[in-house]
């Protein structure tokens, strides 16, 4: 049986990852559409900024969040006036997870938009459908496999987030102690290896399940794309 501390870490990780993924999705779809369909001078800057969380050390991202959204931060000082605090609570963990998972959510969605048969969109437009209706009724449904893949990858990355989270919100049991932080805390305790191994095994199972789901979605999408091209 899992201990209350382990159950709390699992529940908090699932909550943070779920909310992070849901909040990222609308912005990820919009940015993926922009990058897939439009060319503009500053596009390389947008793409570089998008990839930054992938190459920066997570501790650096956490420090940037702390400087920006801390009680005396550039944005945090104004949020605190409204009674909003992101430091040392689970909402800050959601923000950190969003930052690190966003690029992984955008890329599969962008690829889906790029691989769509644009003739279907052109036919719908020629029949009088507005651009908004074409996007909602044609483009978005056809890009659903990419959206699912991005969601799975983003959710999995959020579950495994450690460096930015612990730097920004710390290690507070039942508040900010997600699975990776709980593993780290257990490894610092005498005889904590056995408990840590259970959480490690759970993390491996979740990661493997996410990758398997991602594989089957990709296979199904490739078959459907092959049928459309045929």
Cβ–Cβ < 8 Å for 16, 98: no
* 3 state DSSP class of 143: coil
65's tokens: 């969040």
**CA gap 145, 126 in Å, rounded:** 26
Q: For 168-202, write each residue's pLDDT tens digit.
A: 999 988 888 999 999 998 888 887 788 888 888 88
pLDDT(154) > 60: yes
**CA gap 2, 133 in Å, rounded:** 49
Q: Is residue 128 part of a domain?
A: no
Q: Is residue 28 part of a domain?
A: yes
**CA gap 197, 86 in Å, rounded:** 30
pLDDT of residue 192: 79
* 3 state DSSP class of 53: helix
Supply the DSSP string of 59-94, one letter for each residue.
HHHHHHHHHHHSTTSTTHHHHHHTT---TTSHHHHH
What kind and span of H or E run contains 212? helix 193-229
Q: For 85-123, write each residue's pLDDT tens digit.
A: 898 889 999 999 999 999 999 999 999 898 888 888 888
Cβ–Cβ < 8 Å for 58, 164: yes
Residue 56 DSSP label: S
Q: Is residue 230 part of a domain?
A: no
Per-residue confidence band for 208, with pLDDT thresholds at 50, 70 and 90: confident
- Determine the structural domain holding residue 38 and report its residue range: 4-116+147-225
Q: For 55-84, write each residue's pLDDT tens digit.
A: 999 999 999 999 999 888 889 889 888 888
**CA gap 72, 66 in Å, rounded:** 9
Q: Is residue 179 part of a domain?
A: yes
Q: Is residue 132 part of a domain?
A: no
Q: Is residue 9 part of a domain?
A: yes
Q: Is residue 138 part of a domain?
A: no
Cα dihedral 183, 97, 62, 35 sign: positive
pLDDT of residue 142: 86
Lowest model confidence (mean pLDDT) among 10-19, 29-38, 89-98, 123-132: 123-132
Q: Which residues contact 85 (CB under 8 A, 6 or more apart)?
A: 71, 76, 79
- How many other C-beta atoms lie within 10 A of the C-beta of residue 194? 8
Cβ–Cβ < 8 Å for 117, 139: no
Q: Give CA separation, 159 vs 97, 190, 206, in Å.
A: 8, 25, 9
Cβ–Cβ < 8 Å for 46, 35: yes
Query: Considering the chain, what is the average pLDDT of its residues?
Result: 88
Torsion of CA 168, 170, 173, 174, to 10 degrees: -10
Q: Is residue 139 part of a domain?
A: no
pLDDT(230) > 70: no
Q: What is the mean pLDDT of residues 146-171?
A: 91
Which domain CATH number covers 83? 1.10.3720.10
Could you tell me which of 168, 199, 201, 169 has the C-alpha nearest to residue 184?
Answer: 199
Number of domains composing the chain? 1
């Amino acid at each position: 049986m899992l201990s209350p501390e382990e159950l709390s870490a699992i529940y908090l990780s699932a909550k943070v990852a779920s909310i992070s993924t849901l909040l990222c999705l609308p912005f990820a779809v919009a940015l993926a559409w922009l990058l897939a369909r439009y060319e503009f001078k500053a596009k390389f800057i947008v793409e570089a900024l998008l990839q930054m969380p992938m190459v920066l050390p997570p501790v650096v991202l956490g420090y940037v969040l702390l400087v920006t959204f801390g009680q005396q931060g550039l944005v945090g000082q104004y949020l605190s006036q409204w009674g909003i605090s992101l430091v040392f609570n689970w909402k800050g963990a959601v923000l950190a997870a969003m930052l690190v998972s966003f690029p992984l959510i955008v890329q599969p969605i962008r690829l889906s938009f790029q691989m769509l048969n644009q003739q279907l969109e052109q036919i719908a437009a020629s029949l009088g459908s507005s651009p908004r209706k074409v996007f909602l009724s044609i483009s978005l449904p056809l890009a659903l496999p990419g959206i699912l893949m991005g969601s799975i990858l983003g959710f999995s990355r959020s579950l495994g987030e450690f460096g930015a989270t612990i730097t920004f919100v710390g290690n507070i049991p039942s508040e900010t102690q997600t699975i990776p932080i709980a593993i780290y805390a257990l490894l610092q305790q005498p005889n904590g290896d056995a408990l840590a191994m259970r959480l490690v095994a759970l993390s491996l199972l979740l990661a493997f399940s996410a990758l398997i789901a991602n594989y089957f979605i990709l296979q199904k999408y490739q078959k459907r794309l092959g049928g459309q091209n045929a």
